Amino acid sequence: MQKRKLGKSNLEVSALGLGCMGMSFSYGPPKDKKEMTSVLHAAVDRGITFFDTAEVYGPYLNEELVGEALAPYHGKVVIATKFGWKIDPKAERGLAGLDSRPEHIKEVAEASLKRLRVDAIDLYYQHRVDPEVSIEDVAGAVKDLIQQGKVKHFGMSEAAAKTIRRAHRVQPVTAVQSEYSLWYRNPEKEVLPTLEELGIGFVPYSPLGKGFLTGKIDESTSFDSTDFRNQLPRFTPEARKANQALVDLLGQIAQRKKATPAQIALAWLLAQKPWIVPIPGTTKLNRLEENVGAVAVELTPDDLGDIEDAASKVTVQGARYPEHIEQMSNR
Q: Which residues are known catalytic residues?
A: 57
**DSSP symbol at 72:** G
Instruction: Calculate Rg over the CA atoms of the chain.
Output: 19
149-177 burial, b if ≥16 CB within 10 A, otherwise e?
ebbbbbbbbbbbbebbeebbebbbbbbbb
Which amino acid makes up residue 211? G
* Cβ 278 vs Cβ 271: under 8 Å: no
Q: Transcribe 131-195 into DSSP letters.
A: TTS-HHHHHHHHHHHHHTTSEEEEEEES--HHHHHHHHHHS-EEEEEEE-BTTB-GGGTTHHHHH
Q: Transcribe 178-217 into DSSP letters.
A: EE-BTTB-GGGTTHHHHHHHHT-EEEEESTTGGGGGGT--
* Cβ 254 vs Cβ 260: under 8 Å: yes
Interhelix angle 135-147/161-170, nearest 10 degrees:
40
Nearest to residue 13, comparing CAs of 40, 39, 41, 52?
A: 52
Q: Are strands 78-83 and 50-52 parallel, antiparallel or unpaired?
A: parallel
Phi, psi of 156 (to 5 degrees): -130, 150
Taking the C-alpha atoms of residue 102 and residue 240, their distance in angstroms, rounded to an integer, is: 41
* Cβ 277 vs Cβ 252: under 8 Å: no
